[in-house]
Amino acid sequence: MTDTDTLLKTVKGEVVALHIVLQAWFRGEGSNDTGTVLKHFTPDYAMVGAAGRLLPLETFAKALPSLHGSRPGLVMTIEDVTLRHVFPGGVLATYREIQTQGETRTERWSSVTFRKEQKGTLLWTFLQETFCG
């Protein structure tokens, strides 16, 4: 396995792992400890959601408790994880996220920048989502 294959496997693992945690959070399953979600992000993390609003980590963290259990039955699926750019200390990747809840289905492309920690873990530093047409 090449270094690129290993990195792609690590990136896919982190993207899927966070979405498993988020799915459980929104469904109200498991712990309601915000730390289970927030440990995936750098302190300066920010995202631009599919609706175009900037959301820094502090705002996201404050909203998390009210979101626990807010979307029962939500299913999140991740596909097409691709490395776009590898740079010293980090990586840029894209993936497609499919959310279904009952009869409602949405899809979005996401671009994520990760910071690679010394121990090899990846932390989310920035996320940009765009709804699929």
Q: pLDDT tens string for the chain (133 positions)?
A: 679 999 999 999 999 999 999 999 999 999 899 999 999 999 999 999 999 999 999 999 999 999 999 999 999 999 999 999 999 999 999 999 999 999 999 999 999 999 999 888 999 999 999 999 7
Structure tokens at 56: 């820094």
Residue 62 exposed, middle or buried by CB count within 10 Å (0-12, 13-18, 19+): exposed
pLDDT of residue 45: 98
